[in-house]
Amino acid sequence: MNNIFRFCGFTAVLVFVFSCSLFAQDSAVIKPGVTLTFDDVHNVKNWIKHVDLFKKYNAKATLFINSPQRLSVEDVESLNILREAGFAIGNHGSNHVRSVDYIDQKDVESFLNDEIFPAQEELEQKGFSPKAFAYPMSQNDERTDDALSAVFRHARTGAGIPDGKTLADCDVFFTPVEEVAEKFTLTGKGCDGADDEFLEREIFPALERAKARGEIVTFYSHNVISDAKSHFIRPEILEKILEKVVELDLAFYTFEELPSVYGDKKRSSENIEPLTIEPEIIFSGFDHRTCRVHARGAKIPGGSAVITSQMLLLSGSDVFYEIESSTSSDDGVSWTPFVKQSGLGRYSPEEGVEVCPCDGVPAWHDRSKTILLTGHLATYEKNAISKWREKKTPDENGLVDSRLWYSVFDETSSSWSDMALLKVPASSAVSGGGAGCSQRFDLNDGTILLPFYAPCDETPGCSQVIVVRCSFDGKELKYIEEGAPLRLNVPRGLGEPSIIEWKGTFFLTLRNDQQGYVAQSSDGLNFDEPKPWRWSEDGELIGNANTQQHWLKNRDGLFLVYTRKTPENEHVFRNRAPLFIAKVDLDKLALIRETEQIVVPERGARLGNFGVTYISEDESWVVVSEWMQSKRGGGEAGVADCMKYGSDNAVWLSKVRR
């Protein structure tokens, strides 16, 4: 029976990585994990049928494609859906040839030019960027590994189990975690034809060994189907593997997420293509008494788009009025006039006190198929910021209202539901906080990671950041759990956090009065100590302070949108314009200086309160309005300072494409 498992393509890689030389200094510890991979172009039609099975377990896989010229339009659409679900696309050769035999008959250069580069180019033309290779028929040697290590991060080969041994006995299938980055080719064991007896005897003990010893174990298969002539794994057997992975509390990783010193790590920033940026003014003009602020957008896939904002009293400081909304039905080309949302306006909990929802951030929630808008509450007395806070009495579950408000968009009426407040444990620090201007992240199971900022008794006068996980059913947002607080004993602490995920690791970008900070996490709740944003090339601070930053994500990686001090923007309040964008060097958790571009130009007014809207893996929007207050305030002097350089409270929509 062992021979059945020799040449097939379903790879499970378990990773238990400690802080060591695999990662750059300050990288996060990641938990044990599994990478599932499947081979061969003709199996795409069955892979897509089981995407919900993977989603059920929050799992993902790497899909190795041979003969990509055979991919149909439907296949490419299926692969894009799978990629959106977290899968990665790998290279399996142009003609599925035996690598060693081909080199023996010709040479290494012919192998690369005939088999590797054409497949890579074909996949790239179809929108994919493979970073891993699977050897057909598991045939490789030192020559093939050396040649491909300049192209890919890792390769996969295979072997059988010797007679009298079990998989857990065979060290060849297990890679010590400290050797992963420098080991190009991992040896795997096949799972085609596996049954319950094979799971109990071979696979489950291998998973347990990998978790216990901090190793990587590799498996592989091809098709996912109940019955076929050969090279397939049955869905019910696959599900038992997924169940076991979850039971052991292992994380799922794609093959390209493994640390590596090879392949794309050798590419320099000089080879990074600049983004295509198309800034456009979609609204302009104001009455010199108020101006439009907090403009941010959200998009319904294949449908309409919406922008929310609110008016600011120019003579005050952060004095806001009700949320307003504008919609587009043509991908952001044209927009309806802004409409005030009566259910998202000021209310008076006590005589002389008014509370107003502000700092709203809308975003699409895929599981419920709705747009969820979240924000923070501002409190006023006589149109000035007030320290008044409502006394809270816990309900029967020990919950109280936080200062995070939320609302749901009704596409039919182009309106928002009345404001509701997220209830949180009365004992939690987040009971006194909210998530104003914060970019959230939705997990595959539909739960939401919302980064709060709240007062901190341990560091008086400084706010702390705490990530809260919530459920959302399309109507009600509910508290589930929260992570450990992030604190910084620097004036005003940390605020306006935004969260993103990239290849199993979560990242927070954080505002501070002196400089922006970044932190990372393996679970999205508990983060490493924040460190300042720096340039990757020389470690110099990027020069941003006392304003927010947000993430932009496309198929090429993570980008940060931010402001910073330059010789040209001294006239702008807190140097909050223009808006810049640069790619993140994830190894150093720093920005690549050579990739910096302007995403929204500076015209005298500040642009620090903005939003980033994910549209697809190839497109995002940056939405922002010109805030017509200068260093001299918001009266005519401040307005004149902004208008001197061309600002007129314009609302910008900048389309960013790769």
pLDDT at 254: 86
Asked if residue 164 has pLDDT above 70, the reply is yes
Q: Are 435 and 422 in contact (CB under 8 A)?
A: no
pLDDT at 265: 38
Instruction: Give the span between the Cα atoms of 528 and 549, in whole angstroms.
Output: 19
pLDDT at 30: 61
Grade residue 480 by pLDDT with cuts at 50, 70 and 90: very high
Identity at 521, one-letter amino acid code: S
Closest listed residue to residue 494, CA positions, set 510, 514, 518, 515: 510
What is the percent of the chain with per-residue pLDDT over 90, rounded to a whole number? 78
What is the percent of the chain with per-residue pLDDT over 70, rounded to a whole number? 94
Q: Are 255 and 216 in contact (CB under 8 A)?
A: no
Grade residue 267 by pLDDT with cuts at 50, 70 and 90: very low
13 vs 252 pLDDT, higher one: 252
Asked if residue 599 has pLDDT above 50, the reply is yes
- pLDDT tens digit string along 557-571? 999 999 999 999 999
Q: Which of 6-20, 210-224, 427-441 has the highest mean pLDDT?
A: 427-441
**pTM for the complete prediction?**
0.64
**Cis status of the peptide bond prior to 578, with omega within 30 of 0:** yes
pLDDT at 215: 83
Grade residue 125 by pLDDT with cuts at 50, 70 and 90: confident
pLDDT at 34: 80
What is the mean predicted confidence (pLDDT) over 178-194?
89
pLDDT at 447: 97
Which pair of tokens denotes residue 630? 């200068």
365 vs 265 pLDDT, higher one: 365
C-alpha atoms less than 13 angstroms from C-alpha of 649 in its C-beta half-sphere? 23
Q: Which of 24-28, 96-100, 174-178, 542-546 has the lowest mean pLDDT?
A: 24-28
pLDDT at 23: 35
Grade residue 272 by pLDDT with cuts at 50, 70 and 90: low
pLDDT at 21: 33
- pLDDT tens digit string along 210-219? 898 888 888 8
Asked if residue 446 has pLDDT above 70, the reply is yes
Asked if residue 255 has pLDDT above 90, the reply is no
Which pair of tokens denotes residue 453? 């900022």
Identity at 22, one-letter amino acid code: L
Grade residue 19 by pLDDT with cuts at 50, 70 and 90: very low
Grade residue 269 by pLDDT with cuts at 50, 70 and 90: very low
Closest listed residue to residue 199, CA positions, set 234, 175, 156, 225: 234
Q: Are 443 and 523 in contact (CB under 8 A)?
A: no
Q: Which of 19-28, 119-128, 199-208 has the lowest mean pLDDT?
A: 19-28
Q: What share of the chain is helix, strand, coil (3-state, %, to 5)?
A: 20, 35, 40
One-character DSSP codes across 563-579: ----TT-TTSGGG--SE
pLDDT at 11: 39
- pLDDT tens digit string along 326-362? 999 999 999 999 999 999 999 999 999 999 999 999 9
Q: Which of 207-221, 407-421, 426-440 has the lowest mean pLDDT?
A: 207-221
Which domains does the chain possess?
2-268 (3.20.20.370), 275-387+397-657 (2.120.10.10)
Return the residue matching tokens 């009365």.
Answer: 426
312 beta partners: 291, 320
Average pLDDT, the chain: 90
